[in-house]
Amino acid sequence: MVRPTLLAVSHGTDDADGARAIADLVAQVAAHLPDVEVRSAFVDVQQPEARDALAAIEGPVVVVPLLLSSGFPVFHDLHGMVADRMDAIVADPLGPDPRLAQVLAQRLSGASDHPVILAIAGSHGPRSVTDAEDMAALLHTHLGRPVHLASLAALEPDLPTALAAHPGAVVSTYLLARGALFDLAVRHSSGRSLTMPLLNGISVPEPLIALVIARYEDAAARLANDDVPACTAELAG
């Protein structure tokens, strides 16, 4: 039986290093799934756009959001574009997940005694806020030390406010790859310790590869069982 195509959808970035790092992640996922066709698409900035990429695929598809929370792109853009296809399903976003906490902790290995500011992209969506809080809790459990949230866009407290409130903290960058938000974090964190994003452009963390594959396998099983998520059914109706 032919396995569903894995359509990996990221936000998109005009940062060459960030785009290359995400492409490396998709390539590693494809190498670990030799019996699955793996393609890339984007919500914004890069091509192909997710909707166009989906339309070009014949047969079953699992759309895997390379996104860290259940924000607007997941529950509007991606679920919306599969609403009229019974052979397509959207997997859960990557975060929150203990495997992301593992990678974040690896990035923080040189600052083991300091509290942490988890710098998130930020979104007003209630799902995104809950996801960010849950990710901070997972990182706190993994590290065993305080983890404070700060937003790079949209939410309070913003990163400068958090840095002022926690002068001894290091900044853990909760972004998938380099881009405009990482550049903003660098500017705000001048003189303070700041980690690289989950994809640092040097190597692709094994836990992140495993997470993408797990999201695909879970959604593929639901698709095979005709278990269409309620939010997709609502959009379709």
- Residues 69-84 pLDDT 10s: 988 778 778 999 999 9
Residue with tokens 């975060």: 95
Q: What does the alpha-carbon distance between residue 152 and residue 119 come to, in Å, rounded to a whole number?
A: 7
Assigned token pair, 96: 């929150």
Q: Average pLDDT of 23-49?
A: 97
Query: Model confidence over 76-112: pLDDT tens digits?
Result: 789 999 999 999 999 999 999 999 999 999 999 876 7
Rounded to two decimals, what is the model's pTM? 0.92
What's the CA angle centered on 117, arms 161 and 141, to 5 degrees?
145
Q: Answer whether 173's CB lies under 8 Å from 116's CB.
A: no
Q: Answer whether 195's CB lies under 8 Å from 171's CB.
A: yes
Q: Average pLDDT of 202-211?
A: 97
pLDDT of the residue at 153: 86
